Amino acid sequence: MNILVINCGSSSLKYQVINSDTEQCIAKGLCERIGIDGSQITYAPAGGEKEVTVTPMPDHTEAIRLVLEALTNEKTGVVKSLDEIGAVGHRVVHGGEKFASSTLITDEVMAAIEECNDLAPLHNPANIIGINACKALMPGTPMVAVFDTAFHQTMPEEAYMYGLPYEYYKKYKIRRYGFHGTSHSYVSKRAAEVLGKKYEDLKIIVCHLGNGASISAVKNGKCVDTSMGLTPLEGLIMGTRSGDIDPAIMEFIAHKENKSIDDIMTILNKKSGVLGLSDNLSSDFRDLEQGHNNGDVNATRTLKTYCYRVAKYIGSYVAAMNGVDVICFTAGVGENASLVRRMVCEYLGYLGVTIDAEANGRRGEDIAISTPDSKTTVMVIPTNEELAIARETVRLV
């Protein structure tokens, strides 16, 4: 069966078609600047030429219509008709406490997703628009919602509660939810598979280090803690997000710089992280690595602070699980930045970690980068959220 996987943002939409028998991606692409001047669609059939077409996309329905047109195009399409797409899997960012697993989309499910809009005001409304656009153009095709938060719903209360008045949990459900769940689930399972061990027997820490970054503790196949919180702002230092800070800093900057709460949120979400910490050198780790190698102090300070935070979280999750068997690195930075992995692992001597420099230099493989005699196994597992969404979709339809 072919599964269309949709990841819909407020002005962009990523898509992939995955053949569930071979688990291969047969086409993928991206619509950008939806509802803005200069919108364009990128379409790349597997093994074919990538096409970029600039064309008006006033809304998401038009974007999805163009995606379906590209997929069924007589010359460059990958399916003859939409009948060859068996189901659609939608990434949905926030499932609140309602969704502990993926679900077939019904009217009740749509209403429940809408109820989570408050918790992810930038993401969930866009996800809903994407689902509605698909429903309009592919009536009768089953659709599945796969939630970023679902995998983390197994966290115990002590891991998800904040030290805030309890009434805010009761009234507004303010608690830790965690994100990137599809990736944490996929990577931890894959690590067990590659090692030939039972998932349920392992204590695994997954470091998902991309533009957004989060880390999770997976004990006996269940997530027991994760670094992102009510929103994706908490935890590690990210590309442009601050991660953990003293909350009083917000008031301090607001007073000093005469800024509103919205201004402060923009600073914490868009101007902080490695971008801000490097004094605006870059949010991209390729630039930071290069800067560090050329002796740029901004780059060095940023990398050291970033890696220290990751190492501190690993330590706290070792404590939470009373040990760790496997530590996995994934996502853009985790999969590619060997320097970051090396700098993080330098803190892990107490876990008996020794890194194989040659293996740490490789790319694009599911691979152990620790030596065979390392007491804790350290791995790189490239994430594949689209495949995980496609698998969930097949399971439910």
Give the x-and-dash track for 22-61 against ligand ADP (CB under 6 A): ----------------------------------------
> Is 285 near ligand ADP (CB under 6 A)?
yes
How many of the chain's residues bind ligand ADP (CB under 6 A)? 13
Q: For this structure, is 279 an active site residue?
A: no
Q: Which residues contact 233 (CB under 8 A, 6 or more apart)?
A: 241, 242, 243, 268, 269
> Is 215 near ligand ADP (CB under 6 A)?
no
Give the x-and-dash track for 57-86 against ligand ADP (CB under 6 A): ------------------------------
d(CA 109, CA 379): 37
The answer to whether 225 touches 317, Cβ cutoff 8 Å, is yes
> Is 333 near ligand ADP (CB under 6 A)?
yes
Q: How many residues does the chain have?
A: 397
> Is 223 near ligand ADP (CB under 6 A)?
no
| Residue 322: other Cβ atoms inside 10 A | 8
> Is 284 near ligand ADP (CB under 6 A)?
yes
- Of 133 and 331, the one with the shorter C-beta distance to ligand ADP is 331
Of residues 107, 118, 148, 246, which has the active-site annotation? 148
| Structure token pair of residue 160 | 């998800």
Q: How far is the CB of 283 from ligand ADP (least distance, A)?
A: 6
- Of 96 and 232, the one with the shorter C-beta distance to ligand ADP is 232
Q: Where are the alpha helices (DSSP H) in 155-270?
A: 157-160, 166-172, 181-195, 248-257, 261-270
> Is 331 near ligand ADP (CB under 6 A)?
yes
β-bridge partners, 7: 14
d(CA 197, CA 241): 36
d(CA 190, CA 182): 12
| Structure token pair of residue 342 | 């090396």
The answer to whether 93 touches 179, Cβ cutoff 8 Å, is yes
Q: How far is the CB of 91 from ligand ADP (least distance, A)?
A: 11
> Is 286 near ligand ADP (CB under 6 A)?
yes
Q: How far is the CB of 270 from ligand ADP (least distance, A)?
A: 14
Nearest Cα to Cα of residue 328 among 274, 379, 363, 277: 379
> Is 336 near ligand ADP (CB under 6 A)?
yes
Nearest-CB residue for ligand ADP: 332
Residues 254-273 that bind ligand ADP (CB under 6 A): none
d(CA 61, CA 137): 8
**Coil, strand or helix at 204:** strand
Q: How far is the CB of 364 from ligand ADP (least distance, A)?
A: 11
Exactly one of 332, 341, 386, 396 binds ligand ADP (CB under 6 A); that residue is: 332
| DSSP codes joined into one string, 51-91 | EEEE----SHHHHHHHHHHHHH-TTT-SSSSGGGEEEEEEE
Q: How far is the CB of 212 from ligand ADP (least distance, A)?
A: 4
Strands 85-92 and 13-19: unpaired
> Is 93 near ligand ADP (CB under 6 A)?
no
Exactly one of 235, 239, 243, 291 binds ligand ADP (CB under 6 A); that residue is: 239
Residues identified as active-site:
148
Residues engaged in binding ligand ADP (CB under 6 A): 210-212, 239, 284-286, 289, 331-333, 336-337
